[in-house]
Structure 1
Amino acid sequence: MPTTLTTAQADDLRRAIETAERRSRLRFGVYLGPPVGSRRHFAEKLHAALGDEAADSVVVFVDVHGRALEIVTGETARRRLPDGSCRLVGMSMATAFSAGDLIGGLLYGVTALADHAVARR
């Protein structure tokens, strides 16, 4: 499976993130690449780097080669995206990734996380 996105795929992902943010009023970030150190700790560091916006943010970390996926939510975002919702979305994303569909899994994940957040607003 490719580990980078084409320009068209990156544009599609950017549009999906913008739509998710507008609908849910949360901030979304997606990181593709290997972690530095443990994957969970690295994903949490990415999230913390958002500073003042971290509470309302969701970071999706994907290490394609390491077959790792982490979804980190801020304090405010977690009230609308509990662990169970993130776990369900993550399982569907992992299924798409295992079938070789990186962009499909990412687009689904961002959209589904926003849908869950909107439903709990």
Structure 2
Amino acid sequence: MRRRPVEPEAQVTVGEAQVGRGNPPEVLDGPFSTRQLLRIDEALRLADHGTGLVFSVFVGGLDEPIREHAERLHRQLAEPDRSVLIAVSPNQRRLEVVTGRHARKRIPDTYARLAALSMVAAFGLGDLAGGIINGLDQLASHAGRG
């Protein structure tokens, strides 16, 4: 598991709707409430600021092969080498964590797997937003200050 998606700033992408920092959520139909989106946005901001890496989250359908789709999303980011992507497809019951070359030095696969296990446990309890937030926190904690 490794890497991140979409624009220079960390964003939450739900289906095709995006929520970037400082913008009000514009998701008409998605798995998160406005409050949950704001909490995820804050967790992204804290992870970015605390580590110097760039974190992103994608929630939506992933094409087969899932890992390759997540890696394609990660490569589309402004700074893929310094980026971490959490790609979640709740309907497919899949999670991928993609790290860039520089980010992987600070978040080895073992730590990414531990964060993923924690997220999966929360997802299993029906807490999608909480799992993402906790996963971001764990990944940022492992990365430390950059």
- Does the pair score TM above 0.5? yes
Q: How many residues align?
A: 117
1:71 lines up with 2:97 in the alignment: yes
**2:44 aligned partner:** 17
**1:111 aligned partner:** 137
1:85 lines up with 2:119 in the alignment: no
Q: Percent identity?
A: 38
Amino acid at match of 1:101: D
Q: CA deviation at 1:37?
A: 2.7
**Quick one: which of 47, 50, 53 aligns to 2:77?**
50
TM-score normalised by structure 2 residue count = 0.77
Q: CA deviation at 1:82?
A: 0.3
**For the residues of structure 1 that align with 2:62 and 2:127, how far apart are their CA atoms?**
21
Structure 2 segments unaligned to the other structure (5+ residues): 1-29
Question: Residue by residue, what CA displacement relative to the aligned partner does 1:11-55 show, whole Å, maximum 9, x if unpaired?
Answer: 11001100010001100000001112321011000100014x000
TM-score normalised by structure 1 residue count = 0.93
Poorly superposed stretches of 4+, deviation over 3 Å: none
Q: Please identify which structure carries the higher helix content.
A: 1
Amino acid at match of 2:85: V
CA RMSD of aligned residues (A): 1.2
